[in-house]
Chain A
């Protein structure tokens, strides 16, 4: 058992660190939940990708470097330690790309991945519907067979940054007679296609961070179906598993944020306030635990499976605690606009999206602990 980085990781770390020191914008970019910020973040993704740093773990032919999982963790540590911008491409990179690597055709990989890596095409997800949130199998938007493809109809919602994104991916009911998890198909479609209307929705702080999508006879060619028609649930769940693993929120993000919290505590805290000090300590400990757990996860040779749900609960609760502690350290400034407040508002969504933490606790109970079916 060891925690040692090899020369390949150290060399890679040095390269990434040097590049980031040179290129990370001195001033933070505007919020990526705004049109202006979205465009700035898209330009940043182009810069990253020209240095082949936007998708380091992908194969070289699609814009990556074939980095090992450990090198990817190293990249993430350096990225967030450098205070580099949030990843506007994250839905595509973290959710759609793993699905394509598992279920996509060579043609789909070649068409979709390179412009995703460069930020030319930014993806939104079209999962939830008004009647299908935690109960995703209850979805009703349809895909109907048409000549050479499918026609999409219905409504999707809570689609992150869909007001600014280029394309979307999601699951639709293709067999109206089938129930629940059967008869669903996974498709990709452009958000500027004829028949798509996008209505931005203000998030808790008013920023148009997500949107509703209304689909009226939107044509999707067969080549944009991922996996077999009717097999969408299985295809989607392979993405969901990824989402709950390490990729959506790498440990490096929390290691860096916990470090900044300790700095804030040094600058702002009353040394006599041991209650706040203890909360900072707990955040630092949790961030370290998540980092070490990440090293454990990539060291394992067996399938992590449903244990990935534990990661999702852990990081989302850690993220909220971290930002609450920061706001409390800021005292009267805690309610003022700034990076900590932005992070706080973002963190509040964590226990809800990517499968609520209640659903995740059900998954852990049934599939990790082996408890009876939970109701």
Chain B
């Protein structure tokens, strides 16, 4: 038993972190929200180049094989840097399509030249995605973006979709969709964990430098205790994400994903509330960058199944 990342996995995370830290992601997030997908697409190309999508695609379709630990490690970093775009959706779509033997899109996903989104029930970034998918019962259809919906997180461009031509049908679609949902929920949990970590780091830094009553506010117990609790929530959510990743392909995977999703959703959201309170009025402004993560933490709370959906699923599995 060795339940920590190995050296290669750590290096993968660190290289992504370095690359994204140098990419000024907040600017790309704001441009994405305003409908300018150029900087976001450039980011997408560089994370694909680092191998993020390859670890979601089986080898026979041009990927590196599905490596769940590497996958959640990568998505955690993307969450930390608030990378925009249908990252989780593309990963889930790869799980769906690889079970249906698609040869058209998977090599493009692995190579980073395809953004795919899925209606769950709304389709994220359906206007910029190269392919929009919708599953209904045992039918998989290509879909067209319909009405644009406004998310709390402006970088999450949500759409209703209109299903078009049926691409596949039958029991295999139902099973593939269930597998896609599990992997999507796990990837979303990892993203939430990253969002929470970024907010905690920003809050600790702010609490150490912001002075009131002649002292850094982080020296007051009322503030410090919020931050300690935030760290605890994230530290105990993380092993659930990796535990679920290691359960990939077993009978416990769906159950363990739900446990991870509940913990990460609640942790990220609790940390976001702490971040807002610690930053005070400046944290409540659109122009200050933590807002990008604070809004995302709430929006993701109910994406890929709300905590109550996943609690219900977990208890049914128990």
Given contacts A282-B311, A288-B243, A374-B220, contact A310 B231 (CB under 8 A): yes
Between A5, A310, A360, A369, the greatest number of chain B beta carbons within 10 A of the residue's beta carbon is seen for A369
Q: Are B219 and A373 interface neighbours, CB within 8 A?
A: yes
* Closest Cβ–Cβ distance, residue A372 to chain B (whole Å): 4
Closest to B310 in A: A281
Q: Are A361 and B224 interface neighbours, CB within 8 A?
A: yes
* Closest Cβ–Cβ distance, residue A216 to chain B (whole Å): 39
- Render A333-371 as a binary contact track against B, CB cut-off 8 A, 1 for contact: 000000000000000000000000010111011101111
- Name which of A115-123, A135-143, A177-185, A272-280 contacts chain B: A272-280
Q: Enumerate A37-67 residues with CB–CB distance to B below 8 Å.
A: none
Q: Find A310's partner among B207, B227, B235, B240 (CB 8 Å cutoff).
A: B235
- How far is it, in angstroms, between the C-alpha of A375 and the C-alpha of B215 when the chains are bound? 11
B131 within 8 A of A: no
- Name which of A151-159, A192-200, A236-244, A290-298 contacts chain B: A290-298
At the interface, is chain B mostly helix, strand, loop or mixed? helix
B314 within 8 A of A: yes
B284 within 8 A of A: no
Set of chain B residues within 8 Å of A1, measured between Cβ atoms? 2-6, 9, 69, 242, 246
B63 within 8 A of A: no
Q: Find A292's partner among B204, B229, B243, B308 (CB 8 Å cutoff).
A: B243
Q: Enumerate A1-27 residues with CB–CB distance to B below 8 Å.
A: 1-6, 9
Closest to B221 in A: A374
Q: Find B243's partner among A3, A286, A365, A372 (CB 8 Å cutoff).
A: A3
A110 within 8 A of B: no
At the interface, is chain A mostly helix, strand, loop or mixed? helix
* Closest Cβ–Cβ distance, residue B255 to chain A (whole Å): 10
The count of residues in chain B whose C-beta lies closer than 8 Å to any C-beta of chain A is 41
Q: Are B221 and A362 interface neighbours, CB within 8 A?
A: yes
Closest to B233 in A: A314
- How far is it, in angstroms, between the C-alpha of A193 and the C-alpha of B237 when the chains are bound? 49
Closest to B259 in A: A285
- How far is it, in angstroms, between the C-alpha of A1 and the C-alpha of B248 when the chains are bound? 13
Q: Are B312 and A274 interface neighbours, CB within 8 A?
A: yes
- How far is it, in angstroms, between the C-alpha of A58 and the C-alpha of B41 when the chains are bound? 57
Q: Are A288 and B259 interface neighbours, CB within 8 A?
A: yes
Q: Are A299 and B239 interface neighbours, CB within 8 A?
A: no
- How far is it, in angstroms, between the C-alpha of A368 and the C-alpha of B240 when the chains are bound? 21
B302 within 8 A of A: no
B315 within 8 A of A: yes
Given contacts A262-B318, A371-B208, A371-B224, contact A292 B242 (CB under 8 A): yes
Q: Find B219's partner among A285, A293, A374 (CB 8 Å cutoff).
A: A374
B263 within 8 A of A: yes
Set of chain A residues within 8 Å of B235, measured between Cβ atoms? 293, 307, 310
Given contacts A278-B308, A285-B314, contact A369 B227 (CB under 8 A): yes
Set of chain B residues within 8 Å of A298, measured between Cβ atoms? 1
Given contacts A281-B262, A314-B232, A369-B228, 12 further A-B contacts (CB under 8 A): A1-B4, A3-B246, A278-B308, A281-B314, A288-B243, A288-B259, A293-B236, A293-B239, A361-B229, A371-B208, A372-B208, A374-B218
Could you list 16 examples of A-B contacts with CB < 8 Å?
A: A1-B69, A1-B242, A70-B1, A274-B308, A281-B314, A285-B240, A289-B239, A290-B236, A296-B239, A299-B4, A358-B225, A361-B225, A365-B225, A369-B227, A372-B216, A375-B220
In the A-B complex, the 6 residue pairs with the closest CB atoms:
A292-B239, A365-B224, A281-B311, A371-B218, A364-B228, A372-B219
Binding site for B on A (CB under 8 A): 1-6, 9, 70, 262, 265, 274, 277-278, 280-282, 284-286, 288-290, 292-293, 295-296, 298-300, 307, 310, 313-314, 358, 360-362, 364-366, 368-375
